[in-house]
Structure 1
Amino acid sequence: MLDFTWKLFSQTGNIDTYLLFKELEREKQEKLDDEEQTLTQADYPVF
C-alpha cells in the first residue's frame, strides 16, 4: 500500500495522497514498534 500511495503522489503531486502516505507510514512504524516491544517482553519477562 505504501508503494502505491507513493507512486500515485509522485505522479500527481496531490498533497492528500502524500498525507495518506505519511499516515500509513506512521501506522506501519507504530505496529513494528509494538511488535518489537512484545518480543522484548517475551525474551525478558519481569517477575
Structure 2
Amino acid sequence: MLDFTWKVFSQTGNIDTYLIFKELEKEKQEIPRNQNEELAEVDFPIS
C-alpha cells in the first residue's frame, strides 16, 4: 500500500496523497512495537 500511495503522489503531486502515505508509514512503524508490548504482557501478565 505504501508503494501505491507513493507512486500516486509522485505522479500527481497531490498533498492529500502524501499525507495518507505518511500516515500509513507511521502506522507501519507502530505495529511491531505494539506486538512486542503484547508479547511482554503474555510473559508477565499484569495482575
Superposed pair shares fold, TM > 0.5: yes
Deviation at 1:32, TM superposition (A): 1.6
Q: Structure 1: any 5+ residue segments left out of the alignment?
A: none
The TM-score normalised by the length of structure 1 is 0.74
**Counterparts of 1:36 and 1:13, CA distance in 2:** 36
Of all paired residues, the percent bearing the same amino acid is 66
Q: Structure 2: any 5+ residue segments left out of the alignment?
A: none
The aligned counterpart of 1:21 is 21
Deviation at 1:38, TM superposition (A): 3.2
Aligned length: 45
